[in-house]
Amino acid sequence: MRKRVLRTKLCEMLGIEYPILSAGMGPNLLGEETGSPVDLVVAVSEAGGCGVLGASGYTVDEMREKIREIRQRTDKPFGVDILIPKKVTQFGDPGGGEMPLSEFLKALPREHRDFVRKTKEDLGLPEVEVMIKPDLTTFLPDKAIEVCLEEKVPLFCSGLGNPGFMVEAAHEAGVKVLAITGNTKNARRMAESGVDLLVAQGHEAGGHTGRIGTMVLAPSCIDAAFPIPVLAAGGIGDGRGVAAALAMGCSGVWVGTRFLATKEAGGLDSVKQNIVNAADEDTVVGTMFSGKTLRAIYSRYHDAWYESGLESLPFPLQALIASDLIAAFNEAKMYDYVGGFAGQVSALIKEIKPAGEVLMDMVDEAADILTRKLPESVTVE
Ligand SMILES: Cc1cc2nc3c(=O)[nH]c(=O)nc-3n(C[C@H](O)[C@H](O)[C@H](O)COP(=O)(O)O)c2cc1C
């Protein structure tokens, strides 16, 4: 079959064949059994999209190694995504030196420590030594940005915060800058601060998410950020979603959950399977994982947290609690307490497939819809 053409100005900007980016997804709390974030980036970029490395869980040095590994494995464009929190001084230490998580937990309020202790006791969970690395990119965003510019990554993505302050330096290094927003006000601010690309990430999305649905957010951000190209994110899992995004005026799509349920993505097999099994009401938004609103597949950890009646601690302190417990749930193989970060689009995902196949299926279906195959019930003249 002849290869399909699906191009937008995003393809020209990034030097890619199809306007589909795999979203930056941190090697979250849940570990890796099969695949790895680098495998996914390479697979997506090789297939003609743009793979984006979620670097929020790596140390600055690890991130540099991963960037170099990607370069060894593909000569195609790719991106790197970090989180830029407002306040990180309580953890950041470029000197490295791992610290046991239990040391950090001591500084948390007594009721929160009691929740961790009691949950472990009640469920008979094993003690698992989790080590915190103070030189994670999330704790040292300035250092991480420096490395991305030194390495001249083709696309720098900021998963949290406005990266406007580093756009000039990025452009001098030949690096394009992408920002992610969950509302129109920030889209306007980010566009004014000079970013090259904007992702409008709707409420449906997996991981940290806002309150506005993709269907409203994407066109509203397009209007607010004009002429900056906008990519739609949240709820896109097949060619119908891609076609809808392009029809709304988006220049491309930023796809997370669908690329997580692939052979190459890093993640627990149980989490990938949870995505395949999930129906449309099986994901929920809560602050118990990180302190910020985050969409995950419903699990018994949600229940345990709500039953405690506690308020979540601010980002990223709450992540210490979740990390400690989830490490223990995983060790005990109590996977009903570990749903996994994922979006509503899980309902459309029926199979774990190679990432290149996911991408090409999206391209084929979107191209069919946009050229001739509108559903039969639609008449247009
Ligand atoms: C497991 C997981 C981890 C994520 N981690 C990050 C991250 O580290 N940085 C970031 O910018 N976005 C992160 N996100 C959000 C994605 O970048 C993306 O916006 C979202 O997945 C899009 O919605 P979808 O899941 O419906 O495709 C994560 C999403 C998931 C599912």
pLDDT digit string (tens) for 154-168?
999 999 889 999 999
Residue 364 lies in a domain: yes
266 Cβ closer than 6 Å to some ligand 1 atom: no
Using a pLDDT cut of 90, give the percent of the chain over it. 77
Q: Which of 129-138, 187-196, 293-302, 334-343 has the weakest average pLDDT?
A: 129-138
Lowest mean pLDDT: which of 53-62, 167-176, 368-377?
368-377
Q: Does a structural domain hold residue 106?
A: no
| 8 A C-beta contact, residue 66 and residue 36 | no
Query: 380 in a domain, yes or no?
Result: no
User: Out of 10-19, 79-88, 179-188, 271-280, which region has the weakest mean confidence (pLDDT)?
Assistant: 79-88
- Whether residue 326 has its Cβ less than 6 Å from ligand 1: no
CATH number at residue 49: 3.20.20.70
Structure tokens at 1: 């079959």
Q: From ligand 1's centre to the CA of 156, what distance in Å?
A: 15
Compute, in angstroms, the gap from residue 205 CA to the centroid of ligand 1.
Answer: 7
Q: Is residue 3 part of a domain?
A: no
Q: How far is CA 134 from CA 9, 30, 100, 140, 323, in A?
A: 40, 19, 11, 8, 15
* Segments forming the whole domain that contains residue 69: 9-86+134-273+350-369
Mean pLDDT of 165-172: 96
Q: What value does the mean pLDDT take over residues 324-343?
A: 92
At 173, which amino acid appears?
A
29 Cβ below 6 A of ligand 1: no
Asked if residue 252 has its Cβ within 6 Å of ligand 1, the reply is no
Give the whole-angstrom CA distance, residue 39 versus residue 200: 26
Report the C-alpha gap between 136 and 378 in whole angstroms. Answer: 51
What band does 236 get if pLDDT is binned at 50, 70 and 90? very high
* Closest residue to atom 5 of ligand 1, CA basis: 25
Picking from 19, 26, 14, 25, the residue whose alpha carbon sits closest to that of residue 4 is: 19
Q: 54-63, 85-94, 179-188, 265-274: which has the minimum mean pLDDT?
A: 85-94
In ligand 1, the atom with minimum distance to the C-alpha of 235 is: 26
Using the mean position of ligand 1's atoms as its centre, give its distance from the Cα of residue 378 in Å.
33
Provide mean pLDDT across the span 222-250. 97
* Per-residue pLDDT, 91: 63
Higher-scoring residue by pLDDT: 186, 95: 186
Is residue 379 in a domain?
A: no
Note the pLDDT of residue 217: 98
Angle, CA of 272, 24 and 209, to the nearest 5° = 80
Q: How are beta strands 78-83 and 99-100 bridged, if at all? A: unpaired
Pairing of β 252-255 and β 20-22? parallel
Look up the pTM and report it: 0.95
Element (H, E) at 184: helix 184-192
Tell me: pLDDT of 284 over 60: yes
Q: Is the pLDDT of residue 30 over 90?
A: no
Q: Which amino acid is at 262?
A: T
Q: How far is the CA of 23 from the centre of ligand 1 (A)?
A: 6
Is 326 a domain residue? no
How far lies 356's CA from each of 36, 46, 258, 268, in Å?
Answer: 15, 8, 12, 20
83-97, 117-131, 300-314: least confident range: 83-97
> 286 in a domain, yes or no?
no
pLDDT at 353 over 80: yes
Asked if residue 313 is part of any domain, the answer here is no
Number of domains in the chain: 1
Mutate which of 21, 22, 25, 262 for ligand 1 pocket (most atoms within 8 A of beta carbon)? 25
* Ligand 1 center–CA 257 separation, angstroms: 7
**Ligand 1 close to Cβ of residue 275 (< 6 A):** no
